[in-house]
Amino acid sequence: MTDPKDILRTHWGFENFRESQLEIIDSVLGGQNTLALLPTGGGKSICFQIPGLILGGITLVVTPLIALMIDQVNELKSKNIKAVAIHGGLSPREIDILLDNCIYGDIKFLYVSPERLTSELFLARVEKMVISLFVIDEAHCISQWGHDFRPYYLKIKDFTKLFPIAKFIALTASATEEVKKDIINQLDLEDPKVFQNSYVRSNLSFVVLKGENKLQKVFEILSKVAGSSIIYVRSRKRAERVARDLNQQGISAQFYHAGLCYNDRNQRQAEWTHSKLRVMVATSAFGMGINKPDVRTVLHMDLPQTLEAYYQEAGRAGRDGLKSYAVLFFREQDIIETEKRIFQATVDIKFVKRVYQALSNRYKLAIGSGAGLSFDFDYFDFIDDFDLPTYPTIFALRKLENAGLIQLKENIYQKSKISMLMQREILYQFQVAHAQLDPLIKALFRLYGGELYTGYMMIDEADIARALRIKLKRVKAQLHLLHEYQVIDYKKINFKPQIEFLIGRLNLASLPIQLVDLKKINKQTVDKFDHVVHYVKTDSCRTRILLDYFGELMDSGCGLCDFCLSKIKSNKKVKSL
């Protein structure tokens, strides 16, 4: 199929495109350098996935979010579209097989992190690939003025010089004018065609409520406005406490944060997505990749540190186009406490070096070693073991990440997987010699087929146990035994955050961190929070303040936010006198 509308109907089940989507697709197919700024929920992925299906060869997608990368690959696979993701959670052998499949197979989409573009192995294999479209997702990460700067995005320009790809698109959900200009400049985009949909959400009412008893106000809103809701809070403990209080009031709620195991997170998300659960009380760990259209309210019980983060989270309300509310609660004390946290996170080079030294000691890395190695990383264990202060350590880790020394990876769920190592002729002899393992080997081929020899297959140990009518514990023990015998490569289920050392350990004197950089970042953090304070304290149209921040002019009030509605109500009273 070459008609975008036919592809949209066949694979996504939609009859019509959203605003600007078809124009963006036509721009990409026409070979125009394209920058698309579409608000949260604007359907960015379709803008490159449909051109990728029309064009021959592979679409290479760069994105920094491993969890989102995996979600998109799984969604494409569910539509019978061949896609793979390469990230630090994979072994060298897995990466090698996936790259071979991209060269010799019929893979349509290859997702990678920006760090991968500098890998010698990856660069050598890319030469053999036919890449028809280059996609930069979350393009705001290239700008030091953005809220989520990633230094390896700056190296994308070097990659495009080595491998000039005819068709290119960069996308992001939120960018100020300064960030937008920086994206174009840092990517060396010549005469780009820029698509920027309005940040106005005509069905979303932005509300700020000042007062001490936030929980009581939450109860009142949920009693007045029916439907699904997300309540964002800063801490895990608060998420658990608010969910408990809501349930005591007869409102079905659950909490969600990064400390939950995969099964709990997955179950709670599914219950909320299918409206079996009304309210999700969550930290910022919840929401990425979620596309539930009928969320009526998004409530923030704590102040965000940037308007970018707030707009993205608030934008998860009302994606079905019906009236919805984004409510931000605050007290004067919240501003003081947030400013205090920002001040506590202001660290000097000496402390950043202390954290780097602690990381090197924790993983026993010698000078020059560790490049490309990943380790399980529990933040709270780390600060406890080395007696480090909480907020400054977070900032120091972020600075080390921005300097391109480490990469912190969010909790990502990876099912158990296996790949067959032993050749068929030798395998038959092994089965004869190890009769107790023969039923398991036969079951693996029956369930997962000959593809066990071509790559890693996701497996479910419980399915195998049911097929063999034996206990799950025994299946895992036998799989481990096959791994020990080097019959298979067995990678057990994993759900832990990780840290990857992007380059070998450096001498502390060689750390590429400058005092001027720290001062610049500290000032930027303060400036961004000042805009949040302006948003909650100023008496003017909330939508207008948000639009102004993102560089969009609005001649009049939105008529929907709390300020505009109070003004309309006041005018009616005046007229009736």
| Per-residue pLDDT, 515 | 61
| Per-residue pLDDT, 494 | 64
Q: Mapping DSSP to helix (H, G, I), strand (E, B) and coil, where does residue 167 land?
A: strand
Burial class from Cβ neighbours inside 10 Å (0-12, 13-18, 19+) for residue 307 reads buried
For every residue of 473-495, DSSP letters joined together read HHHHHHHHHHHHTTSEEEE--B-
| Per-residue pLDDT, 89 | 67
Euclidean distance between CA atoms 89 and 69, whole angstroms: 12
Q: Using the CB atoms, write b or e for 258-297: b if 16+ within 10 Å.
A: ebbebeebeebbeebeeeebbbbbbbebbbeebebeebbb
Query: For the range 5-10, what are the long-range contacts, defined as Cβ-Cβ under 8 Å and sequence gap of 24 or more?
Result: 7/50, 7/53, 7/54, 8/46, 8/50
Q: How many CB atoms lie within 10 A of CB 254?
A: 22
Q: How many CB atoms lie within 10 A of CB 303?
A: 21
Half-sphere exposure of 40 (CA within 13 A, CB side): 22
Q: What angle do CA 526, 544, 529 make, to 5 degrees?
A: 10
- Pairing mode of beta strands 324-330, 109-112: unpaired
- Compute CA distances 491 → 405, 451, 487, 538, whole Å: 27, 16, 13, 54
Euclidean distance between CA atoms 300 and 327, whole angstroms: 6
Q: Mapping DSSP to helix (H, G, I), strand (E, B) and coil, where does residue 545 land?
A: helix
- For the chain, the residue count is 577
| Per-residue pLDDT, 480 | 94
Per-residue pLDDT of the chain (577 residues; tens, 9 = 90+): 789 999 999 999 999 998 899 999 999 999 999 999 987 767 889 999 999 999 989 999 999 877 778 888 988 998 999 999 997 667 788 888 999 999 998 899 999 988 889 888 899 999 999 999 999 998 988 886 666 677 788 889 999 999 989 899 999 987 888 889 999 999 989 889 999 988 888 899 999 999 889 999 999 999 999 999 999 999 889 999 999 999 999 999 999 987 787 678 878 988 999 999 999 999 887 876 677 889 999 999 999 989 988 998 999 999 888 999 999 999 999 999 888 887 776 778 889 999 999 999 999 999 999 888 888 888 888 999 999 988 788 888 988 887 778 888 765 556 788 999 999 889 999 999 999 999 999 999 999 888 888 878 888 898 899 999 999 999 999 999 999 999 999 988 766 678 888 889 999 988 887 665 667 777 888 899 999 999 999 889 999 999 999 888 888 889 999 999 998 887 776 555 5
Backbone dihedral region for residue 61 (phi beyond 0: left; psi -120 to 50: alpha; all else: beta):
beta
528 token code pair: 């961004």
- Compute CA distances 84 → 254, 334, 353, 488, 534, whole Å: 33, 44, 37, 21, 44
| Per-residue pLDDT, 375 | 86
| Per-residue pLDDT, 280 | 97
Euclidean distance between CA atoms 398 and 404, whole angstroms: 10
pTM of the model: 0.74
Euclidean distance between CA atoms 286 and 258, whole angstroms: 8
CA 311, distance to chain mean position in Å, is: 16
432 token code pair: 């004869």
Which residue intervals of 165-212 are DSSP H helices?
Answer: 177-186
For every residue of 247-288, DSSP letters joined together read HHTT--EEEE-TTS-HHHHHHHHHHHHTTSS-EEEE-TTS-T
CA 393, distance to chain mean position in Å, is: 22
Q: How many CB atoms lie within 10 A of CB 299?
A: 26
| Per-residue pLDDT, 551 | 87
Q: How many CB atoms lie within 10 A of CB 174?
A: 25
Q: Mapping DSSP to helix (H, G, I), strand (E, B) and coil, where does residue 191 land?
A: coil
Domains in the chain, ordered, with CATH? Answer: 4-196 (3.40.50.300), 204-330 (3.40.50.300), 346-412+496-523 (1.10.10.10), 419-489 (no CATH)
* 302, 233 contact by CB (below 8 A): yes
116 token code pair: 């991968």
